[in-house]
Structure 1
Amino acid sequence: MVPHEEPDTPRRDPRLVHYSDIVEQGGLQPALISAARTHDLDLGVAEADPASQTYQWSTAEFPSSRGGIRVHLGHGARRFAITLDSHHGHAWASGSTGDLRRAAEAMAFWRQGATLGELHERFPFMEFDRLSQAYEEGNPVETQWGLLIDDDAFLSYRELLSILRANGKLGRLFPFFSHWVLRLALDCYDSQAGELMIKPTPEGGYAVWSSEAPESKRDCGSLAEVVEAAEAKMDEFSA
């Protein structure tokens, strides 16, 4: 008689063929901790909590002063995928390697305070984008306006974006798109600070509203009206 095995245990996972050593060590978290200990690396965690790894053998999390570090196992080949999160909702960098030691070394190097450029130079598999670099340099708002205006994917919004950016009040907000709605965040470091929303209407104009009063939308027939409405909607956050 074949012993009963729970369906969500590692031994039933098809990825086991690439990670038998990880399973033998109790999961990804203890395996990384062991590699760090062997090579004198600081990952900020001295030992794994066995209880937390019961059903999470394929993922791991570690702390850093700039946000959490997440690691998970890849599919189809031996691969350790790393994501360096921030405290503000964006990822600093991400990448993957098939070498567990290299993964641990990259994580430890980031924890030591390496810049994005230094991280990529030493570990080329760790990649970052222009916006992440802008956060590091302290100019994410200015950079984001430029990225969106230059992006042909938002060509239909280019004139509006240029006008909003030139506005002394609205140009200080952080622009981004979600489901083709232009959102202007009051604070790019605080997702709870509130947003303005601007969306094209079937009539050829725009609807403008705020997260503070989402039920109160203002229809605008021109770009000048959009700017006026957006400025007025900002006042709802201080009312």
Structure 2
Amino acid sequence: MDALDSGLYPDLFAAGGLISTMELVSEEKNLDLGQLYSHYASGPGLLTTAELDSSRGRASVQLGSQSRTFYVAIQGQGFTWAEGATDDLDDLIEALAAWRDGISVDDFAGRFPFMMPGRLARTHESGDSVSAQWKWLRTAEEFSEERPLVEAAYADGRFGYFFPTLSHGTLRLRSMRRQREAQEVSITPLSGGSYRVENPRLLDPTVVDSLREALNVASEALTSNE
């Protein structure tokens, strides 16, 4: 089964894979995991990965190859709710079921110590994730090179309720309002002092000569169909 050591996962080999084993255990425990699936349609990984959705993100489970380990990560949109690892499948099933049932982040971490909440998990739970993210990008040493771009966008005043992220020098702003398709735009500094502004709804990016122009274009793109 995908080159796994049968001695590490005899239960999975007997049941035919990770998903079928998780389904059996959850049924025995009378716990609801919802629909389990794998993002692999075929080939390697099909029998060694499992995913499930919840109202607070998607949980992904993968198997360790050197030891009996179930790695799990619960991802929100652009952040991690929690992640961890355990060698106990029962603990894993109980943790995933509790998460789907709506357990609080603190209670989740206390009940399942092998799961570590993400940096923004509690602020997302409290509804204060946007301000917490802005504060992090404006103060963390790792973002010192991008600080002028972040500070300019923050001081502008038009992006206060947009969730900011940084990746390879690009500032991305995404609406946190519960829309079918959240508004999103990115601003990338280019050589020579120009900036590229991109929006998923636009076919071509816009290149402007100054940061002020970039912020104006970004604001227009984000609010065009609010």
TM-score, normalised via structure 2 length? 0.81
The answer to whether residue 162 in structure 2 is matched with residue 162 in structure 1 is no
Q: Deviations over 1:135-162 (max 9, x none)?
A: 2111221111111112211102223322
- Is 1:110 matched up with 2:95? no
Higher strand share: 2
Shift in alpha-carbon separation, 1:79–1:22, aligned structure 2, 3 A: same
The 5 A counterparts of 1:91-102 are: 91-102=80-91
- What's the offset of the Cα at 1:18? 1.2
Shift of 1:190: 6.0
Unpaired segments ≥5 residues, structure 1: 1-9, 221-225
Q: Secondary structure at the match of 1:37?
A: helix
Shift in CA distance, 195/20, structure 1 to aligned 2, threshold 3 Å: same
Structure 2, unmatched stretches of 5+, are none
Q: By how many angstroms is 1:13 displaced?
A: 0.8
1:207 to 166, 172, 195: 195
Greater gyration radius: 1
Of 146, 160, 169, the match for 2:135: 146
The 1:190/1:219 distance shift into structure 2, 3 A limit, reads farther
Number of the residue aligned with 1:62: 52
Once the two structures are superposed, residues 198-219 of structure 1 have per-residue CA deviations (whole angstroms, 9 ceiling, x without a partner) of 333333x241423136432101
The two structures have a TM-score, normalised by structure 1, of 0.78
CA distance in 1 between partners of 2:176 and 2:182 (Å): 6
C-alpha displacement of 1:192 = 4.5
Tell me which protein shows more helix as a share of its residues: 1
Q: 1:126-141, aligned counterparts within 5 Å?
A: 126-141=115-130
Alpha carbon RMSD of aligned pairs, Å?
2.9
- Identity of paired residues, percent? 32
How many aligned positions are there? 218
Deviations 1:170-219 (A, max 9, x none): 2332211222212222447669444333333333x241423136432101
* Aligned 8 A contact 1:164 1:227 in 2: no
